[in-house]
Amino acid sequence: MVSLTAPYVSGFLAFREVPFLLELVQQLREKEPGLMPQVLLVDGNGVLHHRGFGVACHLGVLTDLPCVGVAKKLLQVDGLENNALHKEKIRLLQTRGDSFPLLGDSGTVLGMPTGQPSPSLSQALRSHDRSTRPLYISVGHRMSLEAAVRLTCCCCRFRIPEPVRQADICSREHIRKSLGLPGPPTPRSPKAQRPVACPKGDSGESSGGAPSPQRQADRTTPGGRRSTAQHQVGQR
């Protein structure tokens, strides 16, 4: 674990987190060079940023590794808003892999090319069939948007790409164990199935148990006649 000393300031996330991420990459490069990743998926934005240089760009430049910004929420820059029009575009994303470009007020296409000679920077992506909330993919470093979107989609078993999802799960578990916090609640066992009530008038099976041998005999007796054992029981 690390202790963050820099305060959180919107738009300056890189100055708070990148030094620790950079240290981890350098340790991996020195101790396990064979495990160095070919690309980094960063839980944050790349060029989809107030200054066009988010945490994915920052980390990519310092490590010289291809980086992709994967944000869970829309960073409202250059006139981009989570308004009714944006929500309608999200609604039109029907299946996994569907996406739409993000066009800013400046005319810069913050997404896939639309036939205009503008740079492609980021895109809203539906990453899973069972999720209606898109991811916001943006170029970080040494990566085209088309490749970034395709790679992110291929990494998704659920809504969040697996490298980011597993990093979050493992880090939370490490913090829980380090601080001695209780684990997640144990799932409840399924409730025992209640016996099905019998129709009225069938008092011999009202307890929900198996039918008695006498009743079985009665059901199998030719002509529907009662067996001797049942006749004796009835006389009692």
Q: Tell me if 56 is assigned to some domain.
A: yes
Q: Tell me if 136 is assigned to some domain.
A: yes
Q: Tell me if 200 is assigned to some domain.
A: no
CB 111 within 8 A of CB 145: yes
Q: Tell me if 112 is assigned to some domain.
A: no
Q: Which residues pair with 68 in a beta bridge?
A: 41, 139
Q: Tell me if 5 is assigned to some domain.
A: no
CATH code (residue 19): 3.30.2170.10
Residues (pLDDT < 70) of the chain are 109-121, 185-236
Residue-wise pLDDT tens digits, 83-102? 999 999 999 998 999 998 88
Q: Tell me if 45 is assigned to some domain.
A: yes
What pLDDT is stored for residue 11 in this prediction? Answer: 87
Q: Tell me if 221 is assigned to some domain.
A: no
What pLDDT is stored for residue 183 in this prediction? Answer: 76
Q: Tell me if 8 is assigned to some domain.
A: no
Please tell me the total count of domains within the chain: 1
Strands 135-141 and 67-71: antiparallel
Structural domain that includes position 94: 13-106+121-179
User: How far apart are the C-alpha atoms of 124 and 45, rounded to whole Å?
Assistant: 12
CB 59 within 8 A of CB 40: yes
Residue-wise pLDDT tens digits, 139-160? 999 998 889 999 999 999 999 9
